[in-house]
Amino acid sequence: MEKNYHINTNCVQAGYSPKNGEPRVLPIVQSTTYKYESSVKMGKLFDLEADGYFYTRLQNPTNDAVAARITTLEGGVAGMLTSSGQAANFYATFNVASAGDHIVSSTAIYGGTFNLFSVTMKKLGIDFTFVRPDVSEEELNAAFRPNTKAVFAETLSNPSLDVLDIEKFAKAAHAHGVPLIVDNTFPTPINCRPFQFGADIVTHSTTKYMDGHATSVGGAIIDSGHFDWTQNDKFPGLTTPDESYHGVTYTERFGKGAYITKATVQLMRDLGSIPSPHNAFLLGIGLETLFLRVQRHCENAQKVAEFLEANDKVAWVNYPGLKSSKDYALAQKYMPHGTSGVVSFGVKGGREAAIRFMDHLELAAIVTHVADARTCVLHPASTTHRQLTDEQLEAAGVGPDLIRLSVGIEYIGDIIADLQQALDQA
Ligand code: PLP
């Protein structure tokens, strides 16, 4: 029923509908545990024969209400929260791949995700092949192996701001009988709904625009319900009995809820990356204004990008909303109402000028975070990537002059005035 409302309404109301006399605001169920009248009743939960809460490491009513809201925003059938975006991307991929398997991933992904895949998951025996987001269909298809279990990419990559050709990646994934998993953190479902273009699973670092106020690290995984796990024998974890639950077969017992149920009852049970209900509550509050905030972030970022492009001190600007962007056409197709509030650019004079510029900013704060209400900046070459040489920085797509600006929702005149005075002194 909620899905018939406009996405703005769902941001405010989806996922929680109090009944007569219940709290209007989603309550924080700050309880690790839940009472049952008999061991028999509780035992049924452990065998997945009955629905219900028994321990917050697996599920919690506050978390579930917020997950349901994000599921509605994405247009999915089932969803779950995790304690971080890192956990979301780990669970989303590990839920379908195990030792001896292989995943195809875009190169244009957040550095932490790249490390998760290329170092930590590799240690678990899962191999990755990385392909550029602008890879040709032929090269993309050539990246698959018989043991490939998924394709992973970011819809709008952090920090390179590449816009994913979702249909191209979905087509290749489906031709090889595997799901396309996309991280939709930067556009959020306000700007891009990947399920409409063939993606099967969406992940989020809710830490960014969804929370929106930089209060709570968190993640989410949403299933579109479109992918048929039984079409081949690649996903025995979903289609054959799980002995740790007395032989339950997820696709048979849970239908379209199979993937999220498995991630909850196996991965959350064993690895435990559950958010605290208090963080989920804060995320829910953030989601209420997501539509309003994302619109303002994008309006402000577009104006900032145009201002920077016209400024003599600026060497280059990368923002997919600019006609000069290599991804302008893709952005118009997949994110026609805006991409995100993140703009990257370089100032003339390279690394030293970038540092001078940053040090003169007054309104924009230097922080490692992106995508919250306050304008912030990061100079990767002197902070997150400072161990790299200039050559290594170029190879990583993070030039020594690159400044990542996360445009906030403050008054645009004040943001531009701050940039102007800092550029004047750079
Ligand atoms: N995905 C993207 C696109 C990100 O930008 C980030 C963090 O910056 C993550 C995942 C990881 O999320 P978290 O920091 O919430 O663990």
Are residues 281 and 297 located together in one domain of the fold? Answer: no
Nearest alpha-carbon partner for 147 in 216, 203, 99: 99
**Domain assignment of residue 1, yes or no:** no
- Which DSSP string do the residues of 39-98 spell out, in sequence order? HHHHHHHHTTSS----BTTT--HHHHHHHHHHHHHHT-SEEEEESSHHHHHHHHHHTT--
User: Residue 301 C-alpha to ligand 1 middle, in angstroms?
Assistant: 20
Q: 205 C-alpha vs ligand 1 centroid, how far in Å?
A: 5
pLDDT at 389: 76
Cβ neighbours of residue 334 closer than 8 Å, sequence gap 6 or more: 155, 163, 164, 165, 166, 187, 192, 197
* 212 alpha carbon – ligand 1 mean position (Å): 13
**What is the pLDDT confidence band of residue 44, given thresholds at 50, 70 and 90?**
confident
Q: At what angle do helices 61-74 and 277-288 cross, to 10 degrees?
A: 30
pLDDT of residue 49: 85
pLDDT at 48 (0 to 100): 82
pTM of the predicted model, to two decimals? 0.96
Same structural domain for residues 187 and 304? no
Mean pLDDT of 9-34: 97
Whether 126 and 97 have beta carbons less than 8 Å apart is answered as yes
Using the mean position of ligand 1's atoms as its centre, give its distance from the Cα of residue 143 in Å: 25
Whether 255 is covered by a domain: the verdict is: yes
187 CA to centre of ligand 1 in angstroms:
13
pLDDT at 349 over 90: yes
> 370 CA to middle of ligand 1, Å?
9
Could you tell which of 158, 344, 385 is best to mutate to test the pocket of ligand 1, judged by most ligand atoms within 8 Å of the CB? 158
Closest ligand 1 atom to 207 CA: 15
Which residue minimizes the CA distance to atom 6 of ligand 1?
205
Out of 266, 285, 304, pick the residue that ends a domain. 285
Find, among 150, 271, 250, the residue nearest to 202 by Cα: 150
Output the six-digit token pair for 156: 């709008």
Alpha-helical runs (H) found in 82-198: 85-94, 111-115, 122-123, 137-142, 166-175, 188-191
378 with 230, same domain: the answer is no
Residue closest via CA to ligand 1's atom 12 equals 85
> Mutate which of 70, 83, 86 to test ligand 1's pocket (most atoms within 8 Å of Cβ)?
86
Q: Poorest-confidence range of 51-55, 60-64, 189-193?
A: 51-55
> Looking at the structure, do residues 349 and 322 belong to the same domain, yes or no?
yes
Q: How far is CA 76 from CA 68, 170, 257, in A?
A: 9, 16, 10
Atom of ligand 1 nearest to the CA of 217: 15
Instruction: Copy the structure tokens of residue 217.
Output: 């690290």
Residue 56 lies in a domain: yes
pLDDT digits (tens, 9 = 90+) for 315-348: 999 999 999 999 999 999 999 999 999 999 999 9
Residue 33 lies in a domain: yes
Which among 269, 285, 301 is the end of a domain? 285
Cα 219 to averaged position of ligand 1 atoms, centre (Å): 8
Per-residue tokens: 378: 């990061």
Compute the average pLDDT of residues 138-160. Answer: 96
Q: What pLDDT does residue 290 have?
A: 98
- 126 with 151, same domain: the answer is yes
Residue nearest to atom 4 of ligand 1 (CA): 110
Residues 186 and 239 in one domain: yes
> Hey, which residues does 223 pair with through a beta bridge?
78, 201
pLDDT of 1 over the 50 cut: no
3-state class (DSSP) for residue 315: strand
Q: How many domains does the chain have?
A: 2
Query: What is the percent of the chain with per-residue pLDDT over 90, rounded to a whole number?
Result: 86
CATH number at residue 224: 3.40.640.10
The first and second tokens of residue 381, run together, are 């070459």
Domain contains 406: yes
How far is the centre of ligand 1, averaged over its atoms, from the C-alpha of 56 (Å)?
24
Kindly state the tokens that stand for 417. 């005035």
Give the residue, by CA position, lying nearest to ligand 1 atom 13: 85
Domain match, 268 and 357 both? no
Residue 213 pLDDT > 90: yes
Q: How far is the CA of 109 from the centre of ligand 1 (A)?
A: 9
Ligand 1 neighbours, Cβ below 6 Å, are 84-86, 89, 110, 112-113, 154, 158, 183, 185, 205, 207, 217, 219
Q: Are residues 275 and 328 in the same domain?
A: no
Among the candidates 285, 308, 330, a domain finishes at 285
Q: What would the two tokens of residue 353 be?
A: 């000028």
Q: What's the CATH code of the domain at 384?
A: 3.90.1150.10
In a domain, 415, yes or no: yes
Looking at the CA of residue 157, tell me the nearest atom of ligand 1: 3
Tell me the two tokens of residue 77.
């059938």
Alpha carbon nearest to ligand 1 atom 1, residue = 205
**Residue 46 and residue 158 in one domain:** yes
Both structure tokens of 346: 């370089």
* Residue 115 vs residues 32, 112, 128, 400, 417: alpha-carbon distances, Å: 32, 5, 11, 21, 38
Q: Residue 335 domain-assigned? A: yes
pLDDT digits over 214-231, tens only? 999 999 999 999 999 999
Distance 235 CA to ligand 1 centre (A): 27
- Residue 385: the pLDDT is 78
**SS3 letters for 336-373?**
CCCCCCEEEEEECCHHHHHHHHHHHCCCCEECCCCCCC
Say if 2 falls within a structural domain. Answer: no
Tell me which residue range forms the domain holding 335: 293-424
81-90 average pLDDT score: 98
Residue 395: what pLDDT?
Answer: 66
> Is 244 in the same domain as 309?
no
- Residues 278 and 308 both lie in one domain: no
11 Cα to the center of ligand 1, angstroms: 21
**Same-domain check for residues 234 and 323:** no
Q: Please, which pLDDT band fits residue 283 given cuts at 50, 70 and 90?
A: very high
**Mean pLDDT computed over every residue of the chain:** 95
Higher pLDDT, 384 or 211: 211
Ligand 1 probe mutation, 156, 163, 202, 207, most atoms within 8 A of CB: 207
Instruction: Work out the number of other CB atoms within 10 angstroms of the CB of residue 358.
Output: 20
Contact 275/83 with Cβ under 8 angstroms?
Answer: yes
358-402 pLDDT tens trace? 999 999 999 988 999 999 999 888 887 777 777 777 766 678 889
Given the CA of residue 219, which atom of ligand 1 is nearest to it? 15
How confident is the model at residue 396, as a pLDDT?
A: 67
